[in-house]
Amino acid sequence: MTKASEFREMSDEQLGLTLKDTTNNLFHLRLQAQTERLDAPSELRKQRRMIARIQTIQNQRKSAAATKQEVEKQEQAHA
């Protein structure tokens, strides 16, 4: 299980690839669950939580970038 701190250390590109892989893995787990061949049902929850962690970190980075741009615009307007 990957911790949020490990995700924060990743670059944006690595996060995107990890999100894509995790989403694909969740899809395959759901298919297995529908055909009643799922070995570890707890894996569904783990994958969903991992996706949520990655998306949260991506949103935090976008928000921080937008805030930084807004501060720079205000500084330029006052200069």
pLDDT in tens, 6-19: 999 999 999 999 99
Band of residue 1 on the pLDDT scale cut at 50, 70, 90: low
Provide the domain count of the chain: 1
15 neighbors 57 (Cβ within 8 angstroms): yes
Is there a domain that residue 72 lies in? no
Q: Give the structural domain span for 57.
A: 4-65
pLDDT attached to residue 51: 96
Is there a domain that residue 74 lies in? no
Distance of alpha carbon 59 from alpha carbon 65, whole angstroms: 10
Q: What is the CATH number of the domain that holds 25?
A: 1.10.287
pLDDT attached to residue 13: 94
Is there a domain that residue 78 lies in? no
Helices marked H in the chain — which ranges? 4-9, 12-34, 42-78
Is there a domain that residue 55 lies in? yes
User: What's the whole-model pTM score?
Assistant: 0.83
Closest to 26 (Cα-Cα) out of 8, 3, 42, 4: 42
